[in-house]
Amino acid sequence: MTSLFNLLGPQAPDNLSPADAWQNHALCGDDAYDPEMWFPVGEGTAAQQQADDAKAVCYRCPVVDVCLRWALDSRQDAGVWGGLTERERRRLHRRKARIASAPRTTRSLADVLAERSISVGDGHTEWAASSPVTVNRGCYTPAQLAWHVAHGEAPDGEVRSTCGHAQCITASHLLDRAGRAAQHGTHAALNAHRNRGEDLCDACQVLQDRLAANRSERDRARRAARRAPAERSAA
């Protein structure tokens, strides 16, 4: 409700001193309004209209948030305060009590990962639920969740699969930014680039060029070995 009021009009500081100084800024204290408007009697149509008229003024008031907090804290049981009637304020109190009494359950990341992922063969695992997922007030992508479970800490940057199976979240198939940087220039990193159809990084490009040069050298050596017997026979 407070966030709604924040959108409806200018706000005065809520730390005014002395404690009741906010009342000096309240629109309901303006001589243009009848103070009785904020205290409708009964629950009929006329009373409801009176309450709506009072709320319309509240919604323009710069201290509506402070007024509502004061009315809730002091348990005002009559009248419109902070844009809410006594019935609406009682409803807020009941809701607050329910939230306070509701048991909070803490689930482990490993349990959530086990419940919502499935094996798809060849060592690959896929997420079988909506994503991202919220666990104990933390929000994770499936790959981040799998990384947390495997390493016990948050990843460095984006977590990616390196096995060529785009949706795979098997922990041993994942690398974060630091892991990918450490693997640049290795056969595993080169294969990961190829599997994802990415341009090669500088280190992996050097590796590919070196492998190509080695293959060319081996091909020349094999051709030379095949020519050698024929050259000896001709001699």
Segment 19-62, tens digit of pLDDT: 567 888 888 888 888 889 899 888 889 989 999 999 999 888 88
Residue 181 neighbours by CB under 8 Å, 6+ apart? none
Decide if pLDDT at 234 tops 80: no
113 and 96 within one domain: no
| 96 and 10 share one domain | yes
Give me the number of domains the chain comprises: 2
Range of the domain at 45: 2-101
Residues paired with 121 in a beta bridge: 124
Q: Is residue 149 part of a domain?
A: yes
Please compute the mean of the pLDDT values over residues 178-197 and round it to a whole number: 77
Q: If you average pLDDT over every residue of the chain, what do you get?
A: 81
Domain edge (last residue) among 68, 101, 134: 101
The per-residue pLDDT for 145 is: 92
Dist CA 45 CA 40 (whole Å):
11
Q: Which of the listed residues 101, 124, 146 is the one where a domain comes to its end?
A: 101
Residues 116 and 27 in one domain: no
User: 14 and 85 share a domain?
Assistant: yes
Per-residue model confidence as pLDDT tens digits over 92-122 = 888 888 877 767 667 888 999 999 999 988 8
What is the rounded CA–CA span in Å between residue 135 and residue 113?
10
If asked whether residues 93 and 177 sit together in one domain, one would say no
Query: Are 211 and 113 contained in the same domain?
Result: yes
- Please report which confidence band the pLDDT of residue 226 belongs to, taking 50, 70 and 90 as the band edges: confident
The answer to whether residues 113 and 96 belong to one domain is: no
- Lowest mean pLDDT segment, chosen from 79-93, 98-112, 121-135: 98-112
